[in-house]
Chain A
Amino acid sequence: MIPPAFDYARPTSLDEALRVLADGGEDAKVLAGGQSLLPLLRLRLAFPELVVDVGRVPGLRGVREDGDTLVIGAMTTHHEVVRDPLVRRHAGLLAAVTRTVADPAVRHRGTFGGSLAHADPAADLPAAVLAMDGELVVAGPGGRRTVPAREFFVNYLETVLEPDELLVEVRVPKADGWGFHYEKFHRVAQSYAIVGVAALVRRDNGRIAEARVGLVNMGATPLRATAAERALAGCDDTQAVARAAQSAAEGTQPPRDTSGSSEYRAHLAQVLTRRAVLTAAGMG
């Protein structure tokens, strides 16, 4: 398809980027890796007047440690996240989830922050960052603010980001010692998850001490399976986990589309939560 006409800016510093965004207002759109925006443009589902390409803004790419926290630059590509030794050591769930994103071409261009800012509930990363209790660092004209992932995602393709703000980095607590697993259920390799379940499990004396479960494509935003998380605490065998997983879809409003009905998604969430938690807990 042919995108509509738009102006294009390629700032070379964060300040310039923020200035351009502030000037562009509601009609500006940030271009990171382009793997979500460009399809929207080509299908004429988005009509920005101005596309702000932040690919040349320095300091937004890479992974570093900050005490017990891992800091991932928003412009770090999926491919880099998957390969990064710090991510693998301290946030294995993110590496496991990111490995399933689309196909290699997309993973080489698409970015960690871009996927989060796009806030597609069917995307893999938002639910994973939510499960990790991550925080998103946002730069704006008034400086920086830090938003917990639980507050970042507002609605379908909607976040707390203001038009003049830019997601610059993501902070996730190191999950050393936690077991993790991602169950992505999709029909063909490059397609979105019908449902995905990202699980983190901390065990103590053979029991599940704490479980965090992020749900992909079970509502207008990425979700935590809070009822299941509560029920999972204290589980010490597979049957108990299976019982706890039955509440995985509680409180969700899963969508209905060509890949599956709401009812089917709710069912999948239970099965996949059981499987993800058992694997994460080493009980599978």
Chain B
Amino acid sequence: MTDQSTDRDTEREVGRGRLRKEDARLVTGQTNWTDNISVTGLLHIAFLRSPMAHARIERVDVSPALERPGVVAAFSGRDLAEGLGSLPCAWPVTEDIVLPDHPPVAVDEVRHAGDPVAVVVARDRYAAADALEAVEVDYEPLPPVLDLEAALAEDAPLVHADKGTNRSYVWPLKTGEDYEAVKRRADVVVTRRFHQQRLIANAMEPRAVVVTPLAASGEYTVYSATQVPHILRVMLAMVTGIPEQKLRVIAPDVGGGFGSKLQVYGEEAVALEVARRLGRPVKWTESRSEGYLATHHGRGMIQDIEVAATGEGRLLGLKVELLADMGAYLMLVTPGIPILGAFMYPAIYKMDAYDFTCTGVFTTKTPTDAYRGAGRPEATFAIERIMDELAAELGLDPVEVRRRNWIRHEEFPYDSIAGLTYDSGNYEAATEKALALFGYDELRAEQQKRNERGDTVRLGIGVSTYTEMCGLAPSRVLRDLRYGAGGWEAASIRMLPTGKVEVVTGTSPHGQGHVTSWSQIAADVLGVPFEDIEVVHGDTRAAPQGMDTYGSRSLVVGGSAVHRAAEKVVEKARKVAAHLLEANENDLDFTDGVFTVKGSPEARKTIQEIAFETFTSHDVPDGMEPTINAEHLVDPENFSYPHGTHLCAVEVDTETGRTRIRSYVCVDDVGRVINPVIVEGQVHGGLAQGIAQALYEEALYDDEGNLVTGTMADYLVPVAGDLPEFVTERTETPATSNPLGVKGVGEAGTIASTPAVVGAVVDALRPLGVNDVTMPCTPERVWRAVHSAKEASA
């Protein structure tokens, strides 16, 4: 494969580090954030939430709240159940999955701290919040269900008593040879248990929803800070029974999601229901601490992983048994998140047997669902960490163990043991580049010196040679996984009479910069200036078809759709140009937006001229529709597989347990790059989030099931000052499964970095007898690991 970056025409938009068109409005806030939207007569909703993890609701009386000043209405869960169905789960991963009812506001039982029990509607936000105190609720406490293993015991208290079990599903995947058979011929078997702590997404913009009803016609416009306006529209129609054609969903500019806004939330359904009942516009905006309880969490798994290998470190087989914390309910794609990971445990390695099982478990905690990377970071963490442990077991360098097992460049396309076809990759190139930038050998030498001296501050080196599956997703694969929708994406191009262009996309950006990247793609194909293009998104009326934004899919699938739609425009324009220039279509050249007749370059028509000619349609070819606008839907033929090598050096103060990242180098291969500035930004943010899981963030519950990390004072989100300077480089191996050669970059940094950092911490402490530190590697955990290793050796 050729490196396209070297021979690229410098005049082309694709590959240019354009500053983002949308940033002026996003950064200054001069835009329609949902909470900025105000309309006449707007009412405000507040939710009364359960203070208990698990309780039977004996009585709810909202009437005292009605007496409070400014209150217009109040509803219990039972009141609302008359109009609202259960919230949807679109991914029942097995036929016999236990799928409990999920009322948007609890009716008989609350099942996690923060589960809503009543709704107050008032003239202003303060009045609504104050009146919550007047709602009377009697709870009969029930035992909380907090521990995943205890939840599966015979006599465990049940989250959903009517279901008779806390086990939601068991999902197996066994491929290749029999694992137990290959294990018998292995020289070495390494087993580990890893914990994926619960994480809480911290989008800069909290969730918010505004619903404006048009009572006369029964139409509703729902503005929501969502990643998925199209999915939300379908689901809200189902939950409320409002005919879909009467619902318009708009995701205005949205300030971050990280998966937490890939959801159909009860608050959205309630807002719509309240607007329907009252015939008044309503708004709800969550506070940060409310969001910590009510916005879905991420991760939350116990991973038992085992590898069987030869004495030379060649993998024979891999066995993974997951317990995945569903939380209290199955939300939109809750059960499917660990299943996405199932395909990624084998990562970039070759082996003969793979044996995977995931058990979904209910607990009385906030439901889990997508969180940046969604299943794939968890898988990558476990496999990369156990590769470190295999290396340690055999006394090999961790990079060498990876090299002995990875798929070689000449072996692509390669069918992975998990059943994916990796279309392209060059692990050798990315790794060599990363090792050189990092100064791997020099750091190893320094590490050895420090170990020999017995320094109190140890040096550790971590490596992650990750891959991921992006570009979700081929619809037929989704069918096989029992996912309830397709994975296609839509784009249309409108050539305006004045020669300007509107690109309509079905993706729904919430910080990714689609407006800029899509403009770059369309500009090159159409030959129009970057500045002449506007991108329309996130409105089911203006951009009626789409599958929205998640899973590093937007560029791979949606960007490809933009590219194809633009090509269609050119083909239509070619017909008009040929007609006007009285030439054969095949005799036309099209360069930089201009059609010329081969051999007579003075005979020319710009695409803008064609747009105007088509607008008037005074002289278009006979039988042609009077438009050069075009639409294209892409259903991807395969996933895309970004990969790369990340290296992290940490200094661990063994006296205090503090970890400081000294250097971080990543070489990512995300295929062809549309905009290097945006790619770098995605990598930086991704690294910050992955490092946060490794060192800082954790949603913690106490023994009663209360969330004790309920504010940003306790849930520690790192800021720029806590992070090192990143060295970010790339190799560029184009994907072969889409016309742009792109792979997606939204999750790469998050997926890759967590094991690199934790691996480095463990590497620093290994000479002291430590072989794992549970995430996040807090100073106290590290200190205790050192401490207990010292005691063990004494």
Contacts and interface: CB of A to CB of B under 8 A. Distances in A.
29 contacts: A1-B129, A1-B289, A1-B290, A2-B46, A2-B126, A2-B130, A5-B126, A43-B711, A103-B719, A185-B656, A185-B779, A187-B696, A187-B779, A189-B719, A189-B722, A191-B713, A191-B716, A257-B714, A258-B700, A258-B708, A258-B709, A259-B780, A260-B779, A260-B780, A264-B779, A264-B783, A264-B784, A267-B783, A268-B656
Contacts of B721: 189
Given A2-B129, A189-B719, A271-B655, 17 more contacts: A2-B46, A4-B130, A5-B126, A42-B287, A43-B289, A185-B658, A187-B716, A188-B716, A188-B717, A189-B722, A190-B719, A191-B713, A258-B708, A260-B779, A261-B780, A264-B780, A268-B656
B718 interface: yes
Interface of A: 1-2, 4-5, 39, 42-43, 103, 185, 187-192, 194, 257-261, 264, 267-268, 271-272
B714 A5 contact: no
Interface string B444-484: 00000000000000000000000000000000000000000
B723 to A, nearest CB: 10
Given A187-B778, A260-B780, A271 B656 contact: yes
B791 to A, nearest CB: 14
A257 B700 CA distance: 11
Interface string B243-264: 0000000000000000000000
Nearest to B784: A264
Interface of B: 46, 125-126, 129-130, 287-290, 655-656, 658, 696, 700, 708-709, 711, 713-714, 716-719, 721-722, 778-780, 783-784
Contacts of A267: 783
A133 B716 CA distance: 33
A192 B780 contact: no
Contacts of A185: 656, 658, 779
A274 B89 CA distance: 56
Contacts of A191: 713, 716
A180 B472 CA distance: 57
B786 to A, nearest CB: 11
B84 to A, nearest CB: 25
Contacts of B700: 258
A189 B711 CA distance: 16
Contacts of B780: 259-261, 264
Contacts of B783: 264, 267
Given A43-B289, A190-B719, A192-B713, A2 B125 contact: yes
Contacts of A190: 719
A192 B711 CA distance: 13
A174 B514 CA distance: 59
Nearest to B692: A188
Given A185-B656, A191-B713, A258-B714, A1 B287 contact: yes
Q: Per DSSP, are chain A's interface residues mostly helix, strand or loop, or mixed?
A: loop
Given A185-B656, A187-B696, A187-B779, A2 B287 contact: yes
Per CB-CB distance, the 3 closest pairs between chain A and chain B, nearest first, are: A2-B129, A189-B721, A1-B287
B126, B287, B779 pick with most chain A CB within 10 angstroms: B779
Contacts of A187: 696, 716, 778-779
Contacts of A261: 780
A192 B288 CA distance: 19
B716 A5 contact: no
Contacts of B655: 271
Contacts of A268: 656
A87 B87 CA distance: 60
A1 B696 CA distance: 24
Nearest to A4: B130
A191 B289 CA distance: 17
A268 B658 CA distance: 11
Contacts of A260: 779-780
Contacts of A271: 655-656
A187 B657 CA distance: 11
B714 A188 contact: no
A5 B130 contact: yes
A99 to B, nearest CB: 13
Contacts of A4: 130
Nearest to A260: B780
B722 A188 contact: yes
Contacts of B719: 103, 188-190
A260 B658 CA distance: 12
A251 to B, nearest CB: 22
Nearest to B125: A2
B779 A194 contact: yes
Nearest to B124: A2
B129 A188 contact: no
A62 B178 CA distance: 77
Among A39, A190, A260, residue most surrounded by chain B Cβ atoms (within 10 Å): A190
A103 B713 CA distance: 13
A272 B46 CA distance: 46
Contacts of B784: 264
A110 to B, nearest CB: 15
Which of A259, A264, A271: most chain B CB closer than 10 A? A264
Contacts of B718: 188-189
A268 B784 CA distance: 12
Nearest to A42: B287
A218 B369 CA distance: 39
Nearest to A2: B129
Nearest to A258: B714
B433 to A, nearest CB: 31
A39 B717 CA distance: 17
Nearest to A3: B126
B199 to A, nearest CB: 15
A261 B787 CA distance: 14
Contacts of B696: 187-188
